[in-house]
Structure 1
């Protein structure tokens, strides 16, 4: 499986991901990796409705996603991986998934201590986790849309 893009986005699938990123990257699958979403039929139905009909959708727990990725379950596909938080991305990596870069798309922390852009607000836990991700050689960047400047986040 080729993960062509990793996006940290607390809204999961919405217009930017479903239409713009999917088209720009010629994605064939959106993989939502989120324990809560994977256990809710209502959330899964909403995510399916937001996904273009030409794109496959997987909504998996972190543990199940790691297993499927490592076993090559989506070989030959172009996958956009969408995850809700830096903490969940770190958990996925600790499960053995190799991630080289992640895009902070939309992150709205209720107890934000740091505003990086109009759409990225981080709390102390997010900041600490992003620093840990950087130590694991994961590049963290911000790019709302494919045509926007891709800015590396250094915390």
Structure 2
């Protein structure tokens, strides 16, 4: 079975902050990423956020900022084969979209999802809404392994156990 790794995608991470210190240094280095791909329909249309992301990307790393539909299309066209792409999204719903566009996602890493109104904390720096829980359940049903991991040196934890 084809996996997303065969398409050049090394890691898929949910992190509301997108590119920040941990992502720019620890994650990018540990994955030896050659490209960071931010997939978010809102960010694509936000000039200020796009500028901030371009500024935050480490030297020598390419950046793609794409809609879910655009990312799925490019990945399925094999545009990233031979690259080491670190794919970032802000929320699990974006990954549901990617799966619905037939991307063969087999594993995702949950990083930072901040606390706010209507969310419950499930782990340090991870809070989920009911919509998020439904998205995670959908991903799990689709056969995606979901782990929580803040930094690469930390052990992976089964995320679905945290939701219980």
Matches of 1:151 and 1:37 in 2, distance apart? Answer: 29
Deviation of the 1:114 alpha carbon: 2.8
Query: Residue 66 of structure 1 corresponds to which residue in structure 2?
Result: 72
Equivalent pair of 2:9/2:80 in contact (CA under 8 Å)? no
**TM-score, length of structure 1 as denominator length:** 0.96
Deviation of the 1:109 alpha carbon: 4.7
Query: Residue 4 of structure 2 corresponds to which residue in structure 1?
Result: none
Deviation of the 1:111 alpha carbon: 3.0
Query: Are positions 1:105 and 2:111 aligned together?
Result: yes
Query: Residue 7 of structure 1 corresponds to which residue in structure 2?
Result: 13
The residue correspondences of 1:55-134 to structure 2 (distance < 5 A) are: 55-134=61-140
Query: Are positions 1:46 and 2:49 aligned together?
Result: no
Matches of 2:148 and 2:122 in 1, distance apart? Answer: 9
The partner residue of 2:143 within 132, 137, 141 is 137
**TM-score, length of structure 2 as denominator length:** 0.91
Query: Residue 26 of structure 1 corresponds to which residue in structure 2?
Result: 32
**CA 1:151–1:112: 2 relative to 1, 3 Å:** farther
Query: Are positions 1:35 and 2:41 aligned together?
Result: yes
Greater helix share, structure number: 2
The partner residue of 2:156 within 116, 133, 150 is 150
Greater strand share, structure number: 1
Equivalent pair of 1:109/1:123 in contact (CA under 8 Å)? no
Q: CA RMSD in A?
A: 1.1
Query: Displaced runs of 4+ in structure 1, greater than 3 A?
Result: none
Deviation of the 1:79 alpha carbon: 0.4
Structure 1: state its 5+ residue gaps: none
Structure 2: state its 5+ residue gaps: 1-6
**CA 1:16–1:112: 2 relative to 1, 3 Å:** farther
